[in-house]
Structure 1
């Protein structure tokens, strides 16, 4: 029995270390920084700067990023693109969450509306982009519409599922104490459905980022879409990759913010 004690102690230390790295902010930051360092080293080793058209190294890509930031083209493109993304995501949340709640609470709304959002999930949205362009033209509204189409179904469906999964006994208990429908919705149903709603918001944000790029590359060259098209035409491979990596990093930052908000709202839901 004594011979197994060191192994058990080593296993316990391993579990504590794993918990420290995954359950704390600094632990998660350390893991992500380590993963990023490994990717950058591999990228630097895989790149080739001998010819401009070859896959660039991380250092050449970073130099291209500095140049784009210095001449102001990348900040301006991100500003223009960010406006469409912000407007589209606001519409996704503002319409998607209430609509998901209505679908879950009213069977008539469910039978009427749900098939359309199932269609949006099943069909590649890029196939609908020409229709949006024909209806709205080369406008800001067209870009926002594409972003909304890419992401809204995830919020609607996840919100509806989350509301349906609220335990009936919680609603019955609140009703037995005389709570009205609005109070049951705001104080019982929504707090219990927060995890599912936030999962839908996180998925929708990822899809909205994809829709943002698709809209600018297919409908109208605006923002980073215009910048990418210009750089591609001039065969600036490192600069194109720098813009793409900037979009990826911004997307990761936005997703991290949504995750932080999700954890805060989850704590609020557990206190209700």
Structure 2
């Protein structure tokens, strides 16, 4: 048992590095694509397509410009929605943590958004805003904003009291206390909320595109479904997954850097 400990530590260290994680994910991707290729059937178009037929459909959609245009339109809704989530969610979380009245008034609503399936509110949003860009952005915000608010509030509440007391003893005002002490100490927790909110925003983006079909990849999927292009639908779906994974990996990398900076501080 003791002899295997160094090997386990070495394997753990390798998976903690960037290249180790990349190699592990590459191996998993190769195994996944191989299993997909074996499970697919290209005898007729309506059956589950192989990986190669899906790749051909992806190339065709990119070549004729429909997929890049759809991703651009959809990405605009995601970017605006996520910007609203962060710009409103973080200050709201700080207010909730610092002011008991704001906590009593605001927290029940965001807890409600976490507890219920947001997809149930999509028909209400559609009835109020129609098949518009604003409706898709609203759905994305509803999916993600609670996670930023709640995690930001928890992170601010967990700031060590000795830090705030020391800053107060040196004469720090409220603004300096917030910008120089509280927010830097709470930043790792806030970033956790941002990462969770991005995952939820991606889900909201897909839900909005599939239910409020006005433009973007939602209309492209609806068109391909209507023409029974199974490989095309799967190509669009896999593209959305890959884009989501890239965005989440970027936020996770930022979160790790913030955590290291916080520890050094």
TM bucket normalised to smaller: over 0.9
Is the Cα contact below 8 Å between 1:89 and 1:208 reproduced in 2? Answer: yes
- Offset, 1:269: 2.2
CA–CA distance in structure 1, aligned partners of residues 169 and 29 of structure 2: 54
2:128 maps to 1:131: no
Matched positions, count? 265
Matched residue, 1:160? 153
Matched residue, 1:198? 191
Matched residue, 1:169? 162
Q: CA RMSD in A?
A: 1.2
User: Which residue of 133, 144, 164 maps to 1:151?
Assistant: 144
CA–CA distance in structure 2, aligned partners of residues 75 and 200 of structure 1: 30
User: Which residue of 7, 31, 49 maps to 1:13?
Assistant: 7
CA–CA distance in structure 2, aligned partners of residues 212 and 69 of structure 1: 21
TM alignment of 1:72-111, pairs within 5 A: 72-111=65-104
What SS class does the counterpart of residue 33 from structure 2 fall into? helix
Moved more, 120-129 or 249-258: 120-129
Is the Cα contact below 8 Å between 2:132 and 2:214 reproduced in 1? Answer: no
TM-score (norm 1): 0.94
TM-score (norm 2): 0.97
What SS class does the counterpart of residue 210 from structure 2 fall into? helix
Any gaps of 5 or more consecutive residues in structure 1?
1-6
CA distances 1:71-102 after superposition (whole Å, capped 9, x unpaired): 10000000000000000000000000010010
What SS class does the counterpart of residue 185 from structure 2 fall into? helix
Any gaps of 5 or more consecutive residues in structure 2?
none
Matched residue, 2:262? 269
Is the Cα contact below 8 Å between 1:191 and 1:268 reproduced in 2? Answer: no
What SS class does the counterpart of residue 89 from structure 1 fall into? helix
